[in-house]
Structure 1
Amino acid sequence: MAEKGSMLTLGQRLSAGDSLISPLGNFRLLMQLNGNLVIYARSNHSIVWQSHTTGAGNWALLQSDGNFVVYDPEGSLPLWHSETGRDKVSAERFIALQDDSNLVIYDPSLAPVWSSLGGVVP
Structure 2
Amino acid sequence: MKKLAFALLAASMLQLTVSADVFAANNLPAGQSLVKGQSLTSNDGRFTLIMQYDENLVLYHSGNGIWDTDTDGDRFEYYDNFLQRWYYRHPEKLTLTTSGALRVTDASGTISFWQADTKTWQDGYYRIPMAWPGPAVSLAVQDDGNVVMYDAYGRPAWATNTGGR
- TM range, normalised to the smaller chain? 0.7 to 0.9
User: Residues of 1 paired with 2:31 and 2:140: CA distance?
Assistant: 14
RMSD between aligned residues: 2.2
2:32 aligns to what? Answer: 12
* Worse-matched range after superposition: 58-67 or 68-77: 68-77
Paired residue type of 1:30: I
Per the TM alignment, residue 74 of structure 1 is displaced from its structure 2 partner at its CA by 3.5
Residues 1-29 of structure 1: CA deviation (Å, up to 9, x unaligned): 86430011110100000000001101000
Instruction: Select the structure of larger CA radius of gyration.
Output: 2
CA contact (8 A) 1:66 1:84 kept: no
User: Residues of 2 paired with 1:18 and 1:95: CA distance?
Assistant: 14
For 1:93, what is the secondary structure of its paired residue? strand
Give yes or no for the alignment of 1:107 onto 2:131. no
User: Residues of 1 paired with 2:31 and 2:65: CA distance?
Assistant: 26
CA contact (8 A) 1:48 1:101 kept: no
1:98 aligns to what? Answer: 142
For 2:149, what is the secondary structure of its paired residue? strand
User: Residues of 1 paired with 2:159 and 2:72: CA distance?
Assistant: 21
User: Residues of 1 paired with 2:110 and 2:157: CA distance?
Assistant: 25
Gaps of 5+ in 1: none
Residues 71-100 of structure 1: CA deviation (Å, up to 9, x unaligned): 023422100011349xxx56x721100011
2:54 aligns to what? Answer: 34
Of 67, 84, 99 in structure 2, the residue corresponding to residue 49 of structure 1 is 67
Aligned length: 112
Fraction of identical pairs, as percent: 33
Higher relative contact order (CA 8 A, sep 6+): 1
TM-score w.r.t. the length of structure 1 is 0.81
Paired residue type of 1:54: D
